[in-house]
Amino acid sequence: MQPADRVSASKPYFFAQLGKRINQLKANGVDVIRLDMGSPDLPPADFIIDAMANEIRKPDVHGYTLGGGVQKFRQAVTNFYSRRFGVELDPMTEVIDLIGSKEGLFIISQVLVNRGDVALVPDPGYGVYAAGAEVAGADVVAMPLLAENEFLPDLGAIPTDAARRAKVMFLNYPNNPTGATANLAFFEKVVAFAKEYDILVAHDAPYADVAFDAYRAPSILQIAGAKDVAVEFNSFSKIYNMAGWRLGMALGNRDVLGYIENYKSLQDSAMFGPIMTAGVAALQGDQEWIEERNQVYQERRDIALSGLRAAGFEVATPKAALYLWIRLPEGEDSTDFCARLLDETGVSLTPGVVFGKHGEGYMRLSLVTATERITEGVNRICDWMKTGKS
């Protein structure tokens, strides 16, 4: 049996391969500190878990999720966006629920892109953007995210031919992996560019409420006319520490959301109702615990920044997201450097090239490991750098 052409070129997920190597090291007695993945280590607030637990005990919630539960969730999302961003949405046509935002980010290429169309993808960036576009038959055109442009794409550098052929542009701010942020002035330029070339902007915003130093991330939907050309994807994974619950949403252009919903009707049968009930509780409940959680991440950020800089690394201070984007010493290959770091110290970071060719020369450190383990991991890195890398 041979795979279909559309998936035959797909590469194994990097973290699955890394996991095999880490398991081998652990079997050999190595104390591995994982600072590579972005899965939150802290739990949701108790009231969210209680909402799920109370709902799941009801005898009539275990069938397919029907319209009532879905509409309560979508209304809660609508209310949240109104409070948080001042964005008004129609819960019937401008909000849909997703089995995690990753699902929607993959599907959007399937419902918009024909073979030979262009998808504009940030590089470095989250791998699902390019993967979904490639499966749909698109030509992927990279938008380099460079330090000299504050890791924002240079819209003026996008080739005119690519812009004319483009059906979708992926953006992600606050950004994974760089930790960069975007302001409303940048989003205004994006919306104008998208209208000029008739492109749908898929803005991936799961880190909007994982922020430090009083920073408040904007939504692209705050821009006048954005709903004409944009869909924003958001998720409970990072905001509410619910990564394994697989609950997300897409908001914005009603036509595109209709395409996604129709596609999903062929693929799945909606989210489990009690999870959606917990999502409603998360959105409607006291949000103060998020600030307390962010303070934990900020403490970890500052510990890691201090240690890495003392070891000689160049790394910017991110205002949001869960990562440090660390420039490697000149001439170092990110894959080789991270492999040696893991083998010789037991500390696992992600090579920058995993996120695209413009990620070469960097590595990513995630802040979703216990504070004492981050401290230990950074200390090991410092000692390794001081004593001379193999």
To 10 degrees, what angle do helices 14-27 and 334-345 make?
A: 20
252: left (phi over 0), alpha (psi -120 to 50) or beta: left
Q: How confident is the model at residue 390 (pLDDT cuts 50, 70, 90)?
A: low
Give the mean model confidence (pLDDT) for residues 255-260. 97
Q: Retrieve residue 271's tokens.
A: 């989210």
- Phi, psi torsion values for 159, nearest 5 degrees: -55, 140
pLDDT digits (tens, 9 = 90+) for 98-122: 999 999 999 999 999 999 999 999 9
Q: Which of 1-15, 215-229, 247-261 has the lowest mean pLDDT?
A: 1-15
Position 38 pLDDT exceeds 60 = yes
Position 128 pLDDT exceeds 80 = yes
Q: Retrieve residue 15's tokens.
A: 């973290």
pLDDT digits (tens, 9 = 90+) for 334-355: 999 999 999 999 999 999 999 9
pLDDT at 42: 95
* DSSP calls for 212-223: -TT-----GGGS
Element (H, E) at 290: helix 288-310
Position 219 pLDDT exceeds 80 = yes
Q: How confident is the model at residue 387 (pLDDT cuts 50, 70, 90)?
A: confident
* C-alpha 246, offset from chain centre: 13
Burial 175-205 (b: 16+ CB within 10 A, else e): bbbbbbbbeeebbbebbebbeebebbbbbbb
Domains of the chain and any CATH numbers: 5-43+289-387 (3.90.1150.10), 46-284 (3.40.640.10)
Provide, rounded to the nearest whole percent, the portion of the chain with pLDDT above 90.
Answer: 88
Position 204 pLDDT exceeds 80 = yes
Contact status, residue 353 vs residue 23, Cβ threshold 8 Å: no
Comparing 66 with 117, the larger pLDDT belongs to 117
Distance between CA 87 and CA 79 in Å, rounded? 9
Whole-angstrom Cα Rg for the chain? 21
User: In the Cβ-directed half-sphere of 271, how many Cα atoms lie within 13 Å?
Assistant: 29
pLDDT at 149: 97
Burial 7-17 (b: 16+ CB within 10 A, else e): eeeeeeebbee
User: In the Cβ-directed half-sphere of 278, how many Cα atoms lie within 13 Å?
Assistant: 28
Give the mean model confidence (pLDDT) for residues 91-97. 96
Give the mean model confidence (pLDDT) for residues 34-41. 91
Position 11 pLDDT exceeds 80 = no
pLDDT at 269: 83
Position 193 pLDDT exceeds 70 = yes
Distance between CA 167 and CA 204 in Å, rounded? 16
- pTM over 0.85? The answer is yes
Q: How confident is the model at residue 67 (pLDDT cuts 50, 70, 90)?
A: low
pLDDT at 14: 79
- Phi, psi torsion values for 228, nearest 5 degrees: -70, -30
Give the mean model confidence (pLDDT) for residues 194-219. 97
